[in-house]
Structure 1
């Protein structure tokens, strides 16, 4: 089931990219005034042109993309919720109740011939 949703999700994403690239930009109408007419798109998609067709198709693909995103998130949360003992895998700091003897440096043990400054 998850793989089917993932395949539809990827196909919707690719379709959105392709549809956005196929659409004319806002500045494309200015080119039509100088002889670069859009007569071919009017004959294929009707008198309104292809903008509303591509716009609706892009909106549909976006809806499919969002629905598959929610479905994949739901499937992932269900998988995470079904793991028994997931909390047991989290490492917990173990407190050591035994005292550890740390050797202390006495001031009279400093080597007199050392280059290190004295602590006094």
Structure 2
């Protein structure tokens, strides 16, 4: 999977550089790189308007390659291999995690809180019609 990712990155890099170069070579409204290389000359290999069509189509193809490689990198980056289920398809048992035993002991009042009368009255059950003070 690493080799495929490296290959797609190289393709994306080359297509990005190709798009940059072809955009700079295209003839625009002002003086640009295309005019410096004589892309507007009528005696060229592609004719008067042939170079513009060739450069535009090549740019579109390289832009498509760039977008497809970007989508492929996104897919490869989000791909997570699932662990195999074993020879017979049985899943491995879950690991056993040991935990400390839970001991529930009755909570006794500390001597400091039992010494106060308010704490003793609050902890003692209300018997009969007595009103706690």
Structure 2 length-normalised TM: 0.49
Select the structure that is richer in helix: 1
Corresponding residue for residue 72 of structure 1: 73
| Equivalent-residue separation in structure 2 for 1:14 and 1:37 (angstroms) | 20
Shift of 1:37: 9.6
Aligned Cα root-mean-square deviation (Å):
2.6
Contiguous gaps of at least 5 residues in structure 1: 85-120
Corresponding residue for residue 81 of structure 2: 82
Structure 1 length-normalised TM: 0.54
User: Aligned pair in 2 of structure 1 residues 37, 68: CA closer, same or farther (>3 Å)?
Assistant: closer
Indicate which of 20, 37, 40 corresponds to 1:38: 40
Indicate which of 14, 25, 29 corresponds to 2:28: 25
Corresponding residue for residue 11 of structure 2: 8
Shift of 1:47: 3.6
CA deviations 1:58-108 (Å, max 9, x no partner) are: 000000000000000000000xx3388xxxxxxxxxxxxxxxxxxxxxxxx
Corresponding residue for residue 55 of structure 2: 54
The answer to whether the 8 Å contact 1:23/1:54 transfers is yes
Using CA pairs below 8 Å that are at least 6 residues apart, which structure has the higher relative contact order? 1
2:49 partner SS: coil
CA deviations 1:19-64 (Å, max 9, x no partner) are: 0011111235xxx9xxx9932x542212424111100000000000
The answer to whether the 8 Å contact 1:42/1:50 transfers is no
